[in-house]
Amino acid sequence: MKVIIGTDIQQAKAFLEQGNVVGIPTETVYGLAGNALDIEAVTKIFEVKNRPTFDPLIVHTNSIERLAEFVQFMPEKALLLAQKFMPGPLTMLLPKHPSIPDLVTSGLDTVAVRIPNHPLTLELLAILDFPLAAPSANPFGYISPTSTQHVAKQLGEKIPYILDGGECQIGLESTIVGFENDEVIVYRKGGLAIEEIEKIVGKVQVNEHSSSNPKAPGMLKSHYSPKKDLLIFKGEKFGNNTDKIGYLAFQKHHSEITKENQLILSESGDYKEAAKNLFAYMRQLDNMDIDKIYVELLPEKDLGRAINDRLKRAAVKL
């Protein structure tokens, strides 16, 4: 592995200014960042991730003032949400300014914008004179990374530098919202709970089937998947032969399955703790000597909704 892992924002800046892509920490998941205004750097992002170019990227910057330069206008509700939740785990789809290359938005007339809440990345963004396009730093279709180790293991041969910001504090990708007339529409459930958004702008619409919606071409059905078969637990009885079964529980072990094969998202039932552990635990189970992984769904509220969304997308379709 030739990648350098460090905390030197000047070094990260130098690589980015040369058109290279760099791993960056955010509060949600690690990103694979490149100069959003440089077509060659953006092309590299798609190549390194093995991602189809019809799946658009999020543009990251460090202030609402700079963000406003990349969009045509901000509806009132967008401004309210920005003031409340940026920096934070929220991405907004807004009418795209011509300065953003079409490659970034896959030809759509909206651009996804976000201000990540991580001190090191905010510092880096502040010393750059361009915004960063950054998808999650995982090979296309696999689980998102929440530590430098996750990034290095899968992309370490392909990128020169990972900025080390420790473990991601939220652990789920940002919540993506768009605006239609006066309505707020959630296109991806994520690290900001819908309940929190509704406190600011009232009732929102949730687009449950964004995978088939042209507004969000990248939200494909099969996503966030481990290599092993992952199945949603529906109260099955397992009998005696459970040595090769892994189990991802919310609060309590499953009594029929070997304890060594089980991981618990949060014994106290804390949604934030469960979200933070989710992707790392999915990876851990994927690397165990087991044949398949059963997962429990959480109650459909708070971050449980986003966690369930990821689990269902990761599950094999029977």
Q: Which residues bind ligand TXA (CB under 6 A)?
A: 26, 28-29, 31, 55-58, 91, 93, 105, 108, 110-112, 114, 116, 134-136, 173-174, 176, 215-219
- CB burial string 205-229: b at 16+ within 10 A, e below: eebeebeeeeebbbbeeebbbbebe
Stretch that binds Mg ion, among 125-133, 136-144, 233-241, 252-260 (CB under 5 A): 136-144
Q: Select 166 or 299, whichever has its Cβ closest to ligand TXA.
A: 166
CB of 190 to ligand TXA, least distance (A): 6
Total binding residues toward Mg ion, as defined by CB under 5 A: 1
Q: By CB under 5 A, is residue 225 in contact with Mg ion?
A: no
Q: Which of ligand TXA, Mg ion, none does 148 bind, CB closer than 5 to 8 A by kind?
A: none
Phi, psi dihedrals of residue 123, rounded to the nearest 5° = -65, -45
Q: Which of ligand TXA, Mg ion, none does 112 bind, CB closer than 5 to 8 A by kind?
A: ligand TXA
CB of 197 to Mg ion, least distance (A): 21
Phi, psi dihedrals of residue 156, rounded to the nearest 5° = -55, -30
DSSP 224-289: SB-SSEEEE--S----S--TTEEEEESSS--TTS-GGGEEES-TT--HHHHHHHHHHHHHHHHTSS
Q: Select 31 or 34, whichever has its Cβ closest to ligand TXA.
A: 31
β-bridge pairing 229-232 and 262-264: unpaired
Q: Which one among 28, 136, 154, 225 touches Mg ion, defined by CB under 5 A?
A: 136
Q: Select 63 or 251, whichever has its Cβ closest to ligand TXA.
A: 63
